[in-house]
Every structure is written in structure tokens, then in C-alpha cells.
């Protein structure tokens, strides 16, 4: 790991910059609790509830069409999509790019103050050493009490001095790898902070043996305070808590030998009144329920707590409640998507809710205080389930959706929603979600299975349909959207959804389930960034198009954010991928320690995308915008004076 020469010089620049910025602003719980009402962007989702809503109104329907570049900052050679949301405080933007390289940038001029390269293990994408299912992703840092909290993709949780970029502490948020041994674990989600703790979950369920967990660290020392596993371990060794003992009753066979799965890589939020940390969990290890549970069962076991929303006491790490969106999931229907908290009125009652647009095609509204199911509805075409129980929300799985090595199935959807970020506007009562309107994937279980370390393992026969295995096709149901000419809407869209009524108010073509995202403003605006290099704006209430411009990158675009500096409102977003050829250890940085790669070293290659992610992404309405230089950039826009 290292602080670059530019970062060293940046210390001097920072001393000068303090004349303009003042000292690094102390960000504590009081600041974070009121973040949603301010003009800074100090957390991943703007506030603890992850609403991605700003009360600022300077950029509005009357002038958003004039939005123009203010400056840009090149982050380095890259190595994959940009998925982080930049954070802003006291005149400085903080962000992270591929391989967990962090930068602090003067928000007025775009000049680098410091940058830090943790020298993440670049062998993570090499054949036989792979442990990244879906690219070299870093989804965000956190700011707290003068520190930048950085999840490093190879499994380390680190704290940097926000003023200088100097490393303060480093702790493992995965089982500490042993020299010469393969680890299936990684960290790709954004860190969150509250009450003197930094929270992070780990990923790797496609690389067994993997048993996921979320952990909390002391922000000052890096000491691990607690961890909560998402699946139960070997019963013969006892259980960590009552939640694991209960979960074990929903598994059969020797599941623990593969770890169980339950990755985390996106959705997390926090309610200070309930003192609950909410996190979404991923698929089981492996995908096929037959393989995972040691053979075909009379009914698929639920396999807690995969594909679930968990509510965990932030102080103790104990589970308060859970809601499993897809019991016994075998279609890669992770529940890791954006978890958004809001207080809304439903059926003449004020409800404290947590909401998610799930991969499985349903939009969920859950009581965040106790996990009570309130409502859910099809947001895309769905065929794996015939509907949901109106009282519990438990899906009624179509009998033909259950597959084996002898009989496969093609289901809707493959991924309705993944990591594209949604937003909520309390003035309109609508939530703005980029989704895939309809898509499908075919599943056939493997006839035999043996895990292959360092490669993705699904327990599937991916050529089954082409190989003559009989395939079922349950009929789809759900929104049947039409274009103005009457043709069927396909691919990616932005939907404006009323969570109180579970109805769509309007939709617009463009975007998709992964990449980009939305930002909602009190000025009746929705800003959308698209993974293919475009930025759009709509009226929040009616969806009237107001802006559609090409960014100076043509892929790898992340979600937008906004901030105000010297009385002027800005929009910022990261985008670009850079080179993605294969490389060796240490590649992809902007400089190196002694014996390491120098500035501009070739980046290591991308991890192969898991099949459902690749299939879903290929179906988006996303023609690329032209770009001469697609290296990762931090892009800042404003309305000219």
C-alpha cells in the first residue's frame, strides 16, 4: 500500500487549501442525522435512509437544459465500471475507483489534493485465482470524524486521514487469507457509518466455500466489534446465536461444506430511531437448489438467510427480524438491491417502511420496525411465481419453475433490478427506479458437481437447453408496457413508482438494472445517469423530458449526486472503464511502491461476469455515446452563470 508522490505533495496543497476550505469538517452522528436537509453529500445515499433526495432547488426544470461541464478529473487507467457515489464535504470531493484507489479533489477547481492506492491484490481476476463475479467494483467510501473509511476489494477495511490520505488503520473484513492459500472473499459494497462504527458486508458466493457475513469495526481503532453470518455453519461446531440455530432448520444435506453463500454487495441503510442496520443478502452457494441441498427435496427448503432483508441491532450485531423475498432461491434472485427508508402514508396509516425493487421482479414495501409485510407488486414481467400471499408476501412458486438436471426452465425475469441506484421524492411520493422491463434466463441443474476453486461455481448445466434437456416456460404476468407506436417495451427503462398504491405513474426508455442511477431534487426534478454514457432529466411528477446529453465517457457510468459550493449547485458523477486487459499483481494503480508497478501500469483484467448479469445487461436499451477517452473520470456539471 502507499501514499503517492502526488498525495505527498497534496499534503502541502491541503495546507494551502485550508485557507479556502477551513479545517476538515467533523462529520459525526449529528451531522449525518441531518444530512438529508443540507447542501453537502456526506453519505452514500445522501442520508442514512438512502433516499438520494436533495432539498436544493437551484437546478430546476427551467434551467436544467443548460447543464454544462464545470470540470473533470481523471482517476487513472481503471479496469472496470465506476459504481461509487462521490461524497462531498467542506469544498472537497472524495471518491473511489477500480482496485479501491481513493482520491480527494478540490471541488471548485478539480485539482487533486491527494490520492491513495491500497495495492489491492490484482490476482483476483486471474484464471484459477478469480474471486470477483461481476467486475472490479468499488461502490463507495464513508466519511466520519476526520476519516475516510475504505473497503478494499481484496478484503481489507481501512481508515485514511481525510486531510492527507495517510493510512490510519487496516483490518480484515473477511477471514484473513493465509499465505499461499486461495480466498473466495471480496469487498465491493460501499461502507456505512454510525455510532462510532463502520459497517461492511463481504461477497463471494459464486466461489465456494463461502459463508457471508456483515461486520462492524471501531472507526478509531479498526477493532472488529461484531459480525453476523448470513447462513448457518456446521451444526456439530455449535451456533453463534439463536438466529443461526433457527436458520439451520431450513437447510438439508451438508450445506456447510460449500459455505451456504449469502453475499452482500450493495443494499444497506440505517435507522437511528430503531438503531437498526438493514442489509440485503445474495444467493445461496450454489445456485441450483438440488445441488445445494444434496439432491431433490419434496419442497425446496427456505435456506435462511439467503435472498433476504435483515434488520440487525447496530450495537450488538443480533438479528431483530428478517424478511426473505425468495425462499429457497435457485434463480439468482439476490435481495442485495438498494434498501431505501421512508415514512409514507398507506391506507390512511403513517408507516415507517423499508423498500426494495428486487431482482425477482417484485417491488417490496416492508415495515422497517418489525419486518411486517405491507405490500408487493410486479414491477416487471414475472413467471417464476404466480403471485404472492397477500398477508405474508411469500411467493407462490410456479411448479414448472423448479428445475433439475432432467428438466430445465426459462423464467421471467433474469434481473429486474440490480445495482442501479433509485431515489425517492417525498413531495411526489414517488420512487424512481432504473429497471429491466422484461428479460429471461434458462436454468438446468448440473448432473454432477465438484467445486472448482478460483472459478465461478453455479451448480448449473449452462448448455442444458441447447443440449436437448426439456425446458418449461411458465407464462409471464405483470406490467405490459407499450411504446407510443403500440410496440412492446423491451430492455431498460426508468419507472416512477408509487409505493403507497403499488402503481406506476410514468416511465421513460433508457437505463437498466445495473449501472447509473437516479437523483431526486426538491425542484421537481429527477436526474438519471445511464451506464452507456448519457445523463437525462425529467420532471419528477409527470416524467416530462428536459435533458438528454452525452457524457465524455461511453460506458461504466455510476450514480449521480449533488452538492452546493459558494452558493452554486453542482451535479457530479463518475464514469468510464479504462483498459481491461489481463495483468499481474499490482497492476492498475497510478504509481507504485518500491518494486511495484509505476504510474500508468497496465490494469489487471476483468473478472468474467456471472451468466445472469451478462444476460440482463445485454438486453438494456443502451446504445453507447461517442467518447474519445474512456478512462475513468469524475465529472462535475453546473448551470453556467
User: Could you list the active site residues?
Assistant: 332
What residues have CB less than 8 Å from 579, skipping those under 6 apart? 77, 78, 79, 602, 603
Q: What is the CA radius of gyration of the chain?
A: 23
SS (H, E, C) 375-400: EEEECCCECCEEEECCCCCCEEECHH
What is the per-residue DSSP string for 75-93? --SB-S---PPPEEETTEE
What residues have CB less than 8 Å from 9, skipping those under 6 apart? none
CB 172, CB 187: distance < 8 Å? no
In what helix (H) or strand (E) does residue 443 lie, and over which residues does it extend?
A: strand 441-443
Give the 3-state secondary structure of residue 251.
coil
Question: Burial of 567 by CB count in 10 Å (0-12 exposed, 13-18 middle, 19+ buried)?
Answer: exposed
CB atoms inside a 10 Å sphere around CB 411: 29
Task: HSE, CB side, 13 Å, CA atoms: give it for residue 628.
Answer: 0
CA distance readout (Å), 488 to 170, 481, 512, 582: 51, 6, 16, 40
Q: Rounded to an integer, what distance in angstroms lies between the CA atom of residue 478 and that of residue 163?
A: 51
Sign of the CA dihedral with 474 first, then 475, 479, and 480 last: positive
First-to-last CA distance in the chain?
Answer: 43
Amino acid at each position: 500500500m502507499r501514499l503517492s508522490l502526488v498525495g505527498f505533495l497534496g499534503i502541502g496543497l491541503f495546507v494551502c487549501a485550508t485557507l479556502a476550505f477551513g479545517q476538515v469538517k467533523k462529520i459525526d452522528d449529528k451531522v449525518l442525522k441531518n444530512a438529508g436537509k443540507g447542501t453537502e453529500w456526506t453519505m452514500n445515499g445522501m442520508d442514512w435512509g438512502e433516499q438520494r433526495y436533495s432539498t436544493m432547488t437551484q437546478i430546476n426544470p427551467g434551467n436544467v437544459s443548460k447543464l454544462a461541464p464545470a470540470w473533470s478529473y481523471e482517476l487513472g487507467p481503471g479496469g472496470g465500471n465506476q459504481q461509487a457515489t462521490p461524497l462531498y464535504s467542506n469544498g472537497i470531493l472524495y471518491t473511489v475507483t477500480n482496485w479501491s484507489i481513493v482520491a480527494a479533489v478540490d471541488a471548485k477547481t478539480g485539482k487533486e489534493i491527494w490520492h491513495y492506492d491500497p495495492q489491492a491484490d490484482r490476482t483476483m481476476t486471474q484464471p484459477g485465482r478469480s474471486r470477483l463475479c461481476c467486475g472490479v467494483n468499488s461502490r463507495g467510501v464513508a466519511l466520519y470524524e476526520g476519516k475516510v473509511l475504505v473497503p478494499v476489494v481484496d478484503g481489507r477495511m481501512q481508515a485514511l486521514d481525510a486531510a492527507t490520505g495517510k493510512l490510519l488503520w487496516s483490518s480484515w473484513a473477511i477471514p484473513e487469507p493465509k499465505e499461499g492459500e486461495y480466498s473466495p472473499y471480496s469487498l465491493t459494497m460501499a461502507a456505512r457509518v454510525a455510532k462510532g462504527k463502520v459497517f461492511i458486508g463481504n461477497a463471494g458466493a459464486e466461489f465456494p466455500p463461502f459463508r457471508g457475513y456483515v461486520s462492524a469495526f471501531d472507526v478509531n481503532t479498526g477493532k472488529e466489534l461484531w459480525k453476523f453470518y448470513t447462513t448457518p455453519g456446521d451444526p456439530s461446531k455449535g451456533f453463534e446465536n439463536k438466529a443461526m440455530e433457527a436458520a439451520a432448520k431450513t437447510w438439508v444435506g451438508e450445506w456447510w461444506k460449500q459455505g451456504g453463500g449469502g453475499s452482500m454487495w450493495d443494499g444497506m441503510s440505517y435507522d437511528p430511531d430503531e438503531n437498526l442496520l438493514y442489509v440485503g443478502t445474495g444467493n445461496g452457494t450454489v445456485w441450483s437448489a438440488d445441488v445445494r441441498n444434496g439432491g431433490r427435496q419434496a419442497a425446496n427448503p427456505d435456506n435462511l438467510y439467503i435472498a433476504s432483508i435483515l434488520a440487525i441491532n447496530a450495537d450488538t450485531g443480533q438479528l431483530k427480524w428478517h424478511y426473505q423475498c425468495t425462499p429457497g432461491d435457485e434463480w439468482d434472485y439476490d435481495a442485495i438491491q438498494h434498501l431505501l427508508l421512508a415514512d409514507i402514508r398507506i391506507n390512511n396509516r403513517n408507516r415507517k417502511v423499508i423498500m426494495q425493487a428486487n431482482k425477482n421482479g417484485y417491488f417490496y414495501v416492508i415495515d422497517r420496525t418489525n419486518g411486517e409485510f405491507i405490500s408487493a407488486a410486479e414491477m416487471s414481467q414475472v413467471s417464476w411465481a404466480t403471485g404472492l400471499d397477500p398477508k405474508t408476501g411469500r411467493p407462490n412458486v410456479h411448479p414448472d419453475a423448479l428445475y433439475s438436471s432432467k428438466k430445465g426452465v426459462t423464467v421471467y425475469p433474469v434481473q429486474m433490478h440490480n445495482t442501479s441506484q433509485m431515489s425517492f421524492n417525498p413531495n411526489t411520493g414517488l420512487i424512481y427506479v432504473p429497471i429491466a422491463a422484461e428479460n429471461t434466463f434458462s436454468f438446468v441443474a448440473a448432473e454432477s458437481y465438484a467445486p472448482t476453486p478460483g472459478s465461478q461455481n453455479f451448480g448449473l448445466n449452462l448448455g442444458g437447453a441447447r443440449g436437448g434437456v426439456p425446458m418449461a416456460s411458465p407464462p409471464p404476468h405483470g406490467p405490459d408496457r407499450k411504446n407510443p407506436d403500440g410496440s412492446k417495451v423491451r430492455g431498460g427503462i426508468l419507472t416512477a413508482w408509487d409505493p403507497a398504491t403499488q402503481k406506476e405513474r410514468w416511465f421513460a426508455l433508457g437505463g437498466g438494472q445495473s449501472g447509473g442511477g437516479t437523483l431526486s431534487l426538491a425542484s421537481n426534478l429527477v436526474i438519471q445517469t445511464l451506464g452507456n454514457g448519457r445523463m437525462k432529466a425529467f420532471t419528477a411528477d409527470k416524467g416530462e423530458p428536459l435533458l438528454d446529453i452525452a457524457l465524455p465517457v461511453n460506458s461504466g457510468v455510476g450514480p449521480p449526486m449533488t452538492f452546493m459550493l459558494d452558493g452554486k449547485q453542482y451535479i457530479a458523477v463518475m464514469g468510464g472503464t479504462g483498459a481491461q486487459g489481463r495483468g499481474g499483481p499490482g497492476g492498475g494503480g497510478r504509481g507504485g511502491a518500491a518494486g511495484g508497478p509505476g504510474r500508468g501500469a497496465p490494469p489487471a483484467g476483468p473478472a468474467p461476469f456471472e451468466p445472469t448479469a451478462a444476460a440482463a445487461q445485454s438486453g438494456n436499451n443502451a446504445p453507447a455515446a461517442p467518447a474519445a477517452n474512456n478512462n475513468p473520470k469524475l465529472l462535475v456539471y453546473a448551470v453556467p452563470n
